[in-house]
Amino acid sequence: MLEIQETFELEKYSDVIAQSGDKKLHITEALDKGNVTGFIAYSYADEEVIICDFEDNGDLYLCDGMVRSVLFKGCLKGLDKAYFDIDNEEKLKRLKSLLFVKDDSKTLDNMNEFMDKCKKCKGMQ
């Protein structure tokens, strides 16, 4: 069963942390039977969640789950905006296909509204 949980063993993410500059990063890992299958790196600013990097090994469902978990945590902190500080075109393409970002924007405004739409879709199934 897939689990998504924050890790505090940051040594293996030293490259990601170095690339983020002075942001205080949080790392959440996706675990399947105890094996790491992906991660997402993010930080919190005054008004937004900043997603700095992720690795989903090309799995759209995993990408979707990890990003939504971070957005949910941001909503719980009272934030309503996310910025995807990612330059990798393939990763941005996946984020666009999942509707986290549109066109050339790297910002998701109204996170709460975005997450509420997902609840409505789930209820229609």
Q: Among residues of the chain, what percentage have pLDDT more than 90?
A: 72
The pLDDT assigned to 122 comes to 42
50, 24 Cβ separation under 8 angstroms: no
The pLDDT of residue 120: 42
- Which of 15, 56, 90 lies closest to 68 in space, CA to CA? 56
- Domain CATH number, residue 106: 3.40.630.30
Q: What domain range is 60 assigned to?
A: 2-124
The pLDDT tens digits for 66-120 are: 999 999 999 999 999 999 999 999 999 999 999 999 888 999 998 888 777 654 4
Bridge-based pairing state of the strands 49-55 and 81-84 = parallel
Q: State how many domains the chain has.
A: 1
What CA–CA distance (Å, rounded) separates 48 from 79?
A: 6
